Structure 1
Amino acid sequence: MLKRFLLIGKVQIGLAIIAVFTLVAIFGPWFSSTVLAMSPQDVDYQHLTGGPPDSTHWLGTTSQGQDVLSWMLHGTRTSMLVGFASAIIGTVLTIVIGAWAGFSGGLADKILNGAILVFGNFPTFALLFIVAAAFQNANWLLVSIVIGGIEWSGGARQIRAQTMSLRGRDFTTALRTVGESRARIILVEVMPHLLGVISPLFLGLIAAGVNQQAALAFLGIGNPSEPSWGLMINWAMTQNALFRGLWWWFVPPGLALCLIGFATTMVNFGLDEITNPTLSSKRMKLMRIFLRDKARRTAAQAPQEVAVR
């Protein structure tokens, strides 16, 4: 199954984009300081009004003379750290609360399901805005905890529903009969059946974490000493980069945010093809060929039937 998954073109494109951003997040600051010999705080006094891309500044400079590429390389680390950390936190909460609620039943299910419904009906960004604003200059880890602690409810509802359907299966009933613990049944027996739900949830939480962090930074919430894509867009907006024609300042972070969303969507399409064979691109291609050939045969037989009559 893994081989089939990795051979899907959409998955290869999505994973390649995520891998590139991950590598930039790991080695980008080193490349900026060692190869480019620049940091986001360095100022080029010859380009104080914002210079376009050239041989010295590959992505141009801001209106303060700071190198945009250096900002992108350092900002990618912050944005990807928040994306992956918040996705891990949110996925763990989703699995623990959703699976425990669905498998337990009774009072525990009612309490946990109530918590899922309460968090699911909160205006997510408004709550995130209030919580994050309460912590001035919050670093990336605190922002990740806040995002992951809020974005879990939608996935927990799906996990609960799937777990409830598995709770009544013969194999789980047999395991409970022989005295297996609830935790072992959930982790060893039930969890493999939930991977088709957990994987797209994790990918969606990565994109949600990156975009939520960018939105908070765009609104000026967070640590201004930690470069990020949202902070770049925030400063570009406050300095009227759009009206001054400094497109190289806000287009790279905006494009990076779009690519992260595009990459996770492509991988999710691949997961859909694996978990739902009717959505397989190869199957759909064969079906189109079959229907086209059938239409041609029907069109060719029509004149012969008329001639016979």
Structure 2
Amino acid sequence: MMTEPITSPTEPIAEPVAKRRKNANMLRMFFGNWKSLIGVILFLIFVVIAVFAPLIAPYNPLSTNFTQNLAPSAKHLLGTTTTGQDIFSQFIFGTRATLIVGVGAGLISTFIGLIFGVTGGYHGGWIDNILNFISNIFLVLPSLALLIVVESLVKSTTPLLNGLIIGLTGWAWGARVFRAQAMSLRGREFVTAAKLSGASSLRIMVTEIIPNMTSVIASNIIFAILGAILAESGLAFLGLESVNSVSWGTMLYWSQSGGALLNGAWYWFVPPGLGIALVGLSLVLMNFSIDQITNPRLRQEQGGKRRGRKSARIGA
């Protein structure tokens, strides 16, 4: 009578333990890098401002009950506009609107790009030809011109509607990247093993291919968020957004319309511009660390630099 081999009780646990150890090392590397740490702190500061905007802002951002063109003071930290609105309150609520637009549009565009890119790259053939043809149409269309045309057709748009439009029209570049990654992964051994085990195409794409594209997806989300923030701010600055909405882009629009630059009212246009720049900086810094974690060559170079500095200190 044949007996089944006895396995050690530690064998099934070894793989999850190794995976947890690997994830812990990646997190330690991410938060141990000064670039990523600065980026995370900056981004979290803006997230906290956006979440607690009603508690932080001292006044209603649309209220016009204050004296016009006031300089920064204890009562109005960033002064007032030409219509008597508190600029600091507008900046706080504009942070919420801008981040919602950026994160929402980034996630929407990444999700659509994943569907088109992974589906076409995995299946190939006529499915890939059709999806790639649609992606190429969105690629050759000028993004800013397309957004302006869509915005002109939709009257009195809000930041949320602008974010939806940006997300639905800005997915093509991500789709091309995801398609190339899926084409390189579909011939790997683990994908072949999943096919032989009888897994469906959808299951293979969701459980086998997409998890191996985590770094690419994370980088795409980061740059999609940054692109969405810049696009929304540009559209609002051009006046293609409701004048009753409050975002960093509309603050720049009203500061330009109110002659803030000519009158030396730096406290009106500098805060929203600086906010956009700092959010972009935080996203770029986090993306540097993602590249370092996922690229073995960069990890080895960074480790060699750390060992060289340590040896130099020991020698000194």
Say yes or no: TM over 0.5: yes
The aligned counterpart of 1:302 is none
2:107 equivalent among 66, 71, 88:
88
Equivalents in 2 of 1:264, 1:218: separation in Å? Answer: 22
The aligned counterpart of 2:12 is none
The aligned counterpart of 1:205 is 224
Alignment of 1:52-63 (within 5 A): 52-63=71-82
Tell me by how many angstroms 1:88 deviates. Answer: 1.1
AA of the residue aligned to 1:143: N
2:61 equivalent among 16, 40, 45:
40
The aligned counterpart of 1:307 is none
The aligned counterpart of 2:29 is 4
Tell me by how many angstroms 1:284 deviates. Answer: 5.4
Structure 1 residues 113 and 286, CA gap change in structure 2 (3 angstroms): same
Task: Indicate the percent of aligned positions where both proteins have the same amino acid.
Answer: 36
The aligned counterpart of 1:100 is 119
Q: Which runs of 5+ in 2 are unaligned?
A: 1-25
AA of the residue aligned to 2:38: I
Equivalents in 1 of 2:64, 2:164: separation in Å? Answer: 33
Equivalents in 1 of 2:254, 2:261: separation in Å? Answer: 11
Tell me by how many angstroms 1:60 deviates. Answer: 1.2
AA of the residue aligned to 1:86: A
Q: Is 1:283 the counterpart of 2:303 in the alignment?
A: yes
TM-score (norm 1): 0.88
The aligned counterpart of 1:22 is 47
Equivalents in 2 of 1:292, 1:119: separation in Å? Answer: 53
1:112 equivalent among 104, 108, 131:
131
Tell me by how many angstroms 1:109 deviates. Answer: 0.5
Q: Is 1:143 the counterpart of 2:162 in the alignment?
A: yes
Q: Is 1:154 the counterpart of 2:188 in the alignment?
A: no
Q: Is 1:272 the counterpart of 2:297 in the alignment?
A: no
Equivalents in 1 of 2:311, 2:148: separation in Å? Answer: 52
Equivalents in 2 of 1:239, 1:175: separation in Å? Answer: 62
TM-score (norm 2): 0.86
Tell me by how many angstroms 1:178 deviates. Answer: 2.5
Deviation per residue, 1:35-65 (Å, 9 max, x gap):
x2x11122354x31x1221110011111222
* Runs of 4+ deviating beyond 6 Å: 290-293
Q: Is 1:31 the counterpart of 2:56 in the alignment?
A: yes
Equivalents in 1 of 2:304, 2:133: separation in Å? Answer: 41
Equivalents in 1 of 2:99, 2:311: separation in Å? Answer: 45
Structure 1 residues 107 and 8, CA gap change in structure 2 (3 angstroms): same
Tell me by how many angstroms 1:289 deviates. Answer: 4.9
- Give the SS at the match of 1:120: helix
The aligned counterpart of 1:297 is none
Tell me by how many angstroms 1:87 deviates. Answer: 0.8
The aligned counterpart of 1:303 is none
The aligned counterpart of 1:234 is 253
Verify the 8 A CA contact 2:70 2:79 in the aligned structure 1. yes
Deviation per residue, 1:63-105 (Å, 9 max, x gap):
2221110101111111111001101100100111110010011
The aligned counterpart of 2:23 is none
Equivalents in 2 of 1:58, 1:196: separation in Å? Answer: 41
Equivalents in 2 of 1:282, 1:109: separation in Å? Answer: 39
Equivalents in 1 of 2:158, 2:173: separation in Å? Answer: 26
Verify the 8 A CA contact 2:159 2:247 in the aligned structure 1. no
Tell me by how many angstroms 1:117 deviates. Answer: 1.5
Deviation per residue, 1:87-137 (Å, 9 max, x gap):
110010011111001001110001111111111111011101111121111
Q: Which runs of 5+ in 1 are unaligned?
A: 294-309
Tell me by how many angstroms 1:141 deviates. Answer: 2.8
